[in-house]
Structure 1
Amino acid sequence: MTKLPSKENKEKFVRDMFNSIARRYDLMNTLMTGGLDKKWRKFAVKRAELQPGGYGLDVCCGTGMLTMELARAAGLNGRVTGLDFSEKMLAVAKENLKNFDLKDNISLIQGNAMALPFAENTFDCATVGWGLRNVPDIMTALREMVRVVKPGAKVVSLDMAQPTAPVFKQLYWFCFEKVIPAMGKLWAGNKGAYSYLHASAKVFPNQKVLVQMFREAGLVETKYHNFCGGVVAVVEGRKP
């Protein structure tokens, strides 16, 4: 099993890793999920409850796919900010926005999920897609998102989860450990990055534990929604 970086070294490791796979990241997401990632993002945005004219935040926005989905919800009079610490992922996001109808309503900034550069009670929702798994400290990132959203706003995470069904669970982890890194080598030229994906998913809190962490961060009405037998989950909570 791939050795994970220490908490002290994780930030640099993850940034360098995402910089190295940025150009192929969207292609790999589509291949790994069979295109279902689009459906999951739409569901996550629906759970975020961003209304037309609202102001949304997408943390660890990567190539901007979830950010654009938020912008669709916010509409012509809304605004969305996408934040990521990988400059190359943000460069791909900017390219993805070029032909997007609502590109003028989106701001992309380089920043750290552990110390969001925004005032308290700024946003009408905060989302994070496949990002909590990669931060040095999940609770710190969660509390930062809670801090910057308004009372009554939702915080929503879309990420890998942990299936529990016998046989399916074993098959899933086998594919994750053996097949996905091979795909990463073939399509993204970086087997190590996708070996890290397996290793990080193994130690990432399961959906039930993550719901509890959302509560500990100060959120209420916490719950999770499983997809594909628990392979992926959307976890949500509301700021009181």
Structure 2
Amino acid sequence: MDFAGKDKASYVKETFNTIAGRYDFMNSVMTLGLDKRWRRKVVRCVGAAENKHILDVCCGTGQLSLALAERVGPRGRVTGLDFSENMLAKAREALQHRPWPERVHFQRGDALALPFPDNSFDGATVGWGLRNLPDLEQGIREMTRVVKPGAKIVSLDMAKPTLPVFKQVYWFYFERVVPLLGSLFTGKRSAYRYLHDSAVQFPAQRELAQIFARCGLIDTRCHNLAGGAVAIVEGTKAAGAVIRHSGFTR
């Protein structure tokens, strides 16, 4: 990927700040409206329920955070974290249209150095965010550190389908059609070209499940969606697991 002379973190931040205004619309267009259904499945996988406190890393415009908030009830909480100011602004705007804004707190922060104590959350999610991290394993370890033993970490992201023909159609759509749609609807073709390039370099779903295990999670597994074009990958923090803060600045 060409980051135009910038490091990945700076490039990604600038990219998402630029497309924040049309991000949700483009998600619906690219996924043919299936993104809402996929988020509901993530909510079930992470075990969001009454009184739980769930962390949503790389929360973006907050759509997954809001879906989680519907399940945790009036005494539950959701914390959404992202490093894009413009994406967070859209998330806070969306929250004001919900009847329970007190359930969700959005804050700016670094996914590689989460500003939370160990064992703070009853689960953690990340939607289309892991592939944007400069250090994938560090991001997973940080999520593991801040959830309680027995809690789940669940990722929703693009995957790598293996079915003949469908695989070729998928990559053609993602490489050629998605950047064209991005150019038409946002004027930012390069941003949606980045989405393709980052998906190419992102580990396939089974490999990501193995990385979850390497980062200290157990019972790791993946669930294919849309014929394997998208996947949910999950793992559980083992009882007694010790994952210490790595020393990154909070």
TM-score, length basis structure 1: 0.97
The equivalent residue for 2:67 is: 69
In the aligned structure 2, how far is the partner of 1:144 from the partner of 1:87? 21
Letter of the structure 2 residue corresponding to residue 179 of structure 1: V
Match 2:34 to one of 16, 33, 36: 36
Mapped contact 1:4–1:199 kept (Cα < 8 A): no
Match 2:174 to one of 164, 173, 176: 176
Q: Percent identity?
A: 54
In the aligned structure 2, how far is the partner of 1:201 from the partner of 1:209? 14
In the aligned structure 1, how far is the partner of 2:3 from the partner of 2:147? 30
For the pair 1:220 / 2:218, whether they are aligned, the reply is yes
The equivalent residue for 2:98 is: 100
In the aligned structure 2, how far is the partner of 1:119 from the partner of 1:102? 26
Q: How many residues align?
A: 238
Mapped contact 1:4–1:200 kept (Cα < 8 A): no
In the aligned structure 1, how far is the partner of 2:70 from the partner of 2:160? 30
In the aligned structure 1, how far is the partner of 2:2 from the partner of 2:158? 17
Q: Please give the residue correspondences for 1:6-21 in structure 2 after superposition, counting only pairs within 5 Å.
A: 9-21=7-19
Match 2:123 to one of 122, 125, 128: 125
Mapped contact 1:114–1:141 kept (Cα < 8 A): yes
Q: How many Å apart are 1:222 and its aligned residue?
A: 0.7
**More displaced 10-residue stretch of structure 1: 48-57 or 14-23:** 48-57
* Per-residue CA distance 1:35-83 (angstroms, 9 max, x = gap): 1000000001100002200100000000000001111111111011000
For the pair 1:56 / 2:29, whether they are aligned, the reply is no
Q: Please give the residue correspondences for 1:143-222 in structure 2 after superposition, counting only pairs within 5 Å.
A: 143-222=141-220
* Per-residue CA distance 1:128-170 (angstroms, 9 max, x = gap): 0000010001100000000000000000000000000111101
Mapped contact 1:48–1:125 kept (Cα < 8 A): yes
Gaps of 5+ in 2: 239-250
* Per-residue CA distance 1:74-103 (angstroms, 9 max, x = gap): 111101100000000000101111111221
Q: How many Å apart are 1:188 and its aligned residue?
A: 1.3
Helix, strand or coil for the counterpart of 1:81? strand
Gaps of 5+ in 1: none
Helix, strand or coil for the counterpart of 1:5? coil
In the aligned structure 2, how far is the partner of 1:160 from the partner of 1:216? 21
Q: How many Å apart are 1:178 and its aligned residue?
A: 0.6
Runs of 4+ in 1 over 3 A off after TM superposition: none
Helix, strand or coil for the counterpart of 1:236? strand
Letter of the structure 2 residue corresponding to residue 129 of structure 1: G
In the aligned structure 1, how far is the partner of 2:187 from the partner of 2:137? 33
